Amino acid sequence: MMVASAMGSNRSRLLQTCTVSTLALALVVTFEVVVLGQGQTDATFGLGRPPTAAEVQAWDISIGPDGAELPEGSGTTGEGAGVYSQRGCSECHGPTGVEGPAIVLVGGEVNRRTTYFPIAYWPFATSIWDFIRRAMPYHRPGVLTADEVYALTAFLLHRNGIIEASAVMNRESLPKVVMPHRDDYIVPEPWTPGTPRGFKRQP
């Protein structure tokens, strides 16, 4: 009993020591972070440099739903068919966009388990343009020109029965495309930092 009691006492003292040490270490780290944050606000530590305007522009490629950021350029459904075959899209999606092995680009059903939404279910045509430019082709994203992206977007929209074969996609016409399931989506209200967030269904 005495041995067990002594072991329990030693264990208790060890836990107390570890707890105190951990708290002390946390306080030291917090103090150093605060001091560094206050004393090095303008320091660069000799590393890096501010990005140039050209570098910022190269990365600032997000396209909003209204398409305000879309660049100049244009593409037709016929041109898109050529880009689709020449740029290797068929290698992943198949010659007609349904053979795979990657996800189908023509038709398809919503699969919420895998968060897969076919092109026809996307709420904005501009988002399709944005994704193609940002992520395709899979093995060399970013190599497509603006004209090629417009052409591919036109081709896929036509193949999904959303636009006519004669349609030309550009920065004016693309945002006007009405996606079939647009009204199924609820989008956030315009938000200003410091105000509560809310959601509403767009008309």
Between 198 and 109, whose confidence is greater? Answer: 109
2: confidence class by pLDDT, cuts 50, 70, 90: very low
Where do we find the tokens 């977007």? 153
Where are the alpha helices (H) located in the chain, listed in sequence order?
2-39, 53-59, 77-86, 89-93, 125-135, 146-159
pLDDT at 92: 93
Angle between helix 77-86 and 146-159 (nearest 10) = 110
108: confidence class by pLDDT, cuts 50, 70, 90: confident
84: confidence class by pLDDT, cuts 50, 70, 90: very high
- The answer to whether residue 123 scores a pLDDT higher than 80 is yes
Q: What is the mean pLDDT of residues 139-160?
A: 96
CB of 44 closer than 8 Å to CB of 116: no
| Best mean pLDDT range from 27-41, 58-72, 77-91 | 77-91
CB of 128 closer than 8 Å to CB of 122: yes
- The answer to whether residue 6 scores a pLDDT higher than 80 is no
Q: Give the residue from 140, 180, 182, 142 showing the smallest Cα distance to 160.
A: 180
Q: What are the two backbone dihedrals, phi and then psi, of residue 146, each rounded to the nearest 5 degrees?
A: -60, -40
Q: What are the two backbone dihedrals, phi and then psi, of residue 5, each rounded to the nearest 5 degrees?
A: -65, -40
Where are the alpha helices (H) located in 87-124, listed in sequence order?
89-93
Length of the chain: 203
Q: What are the two backbone dihedrals, phi and then psi, of residue 111, each rounded to the nearest 5 degrees?
A: -130, 100
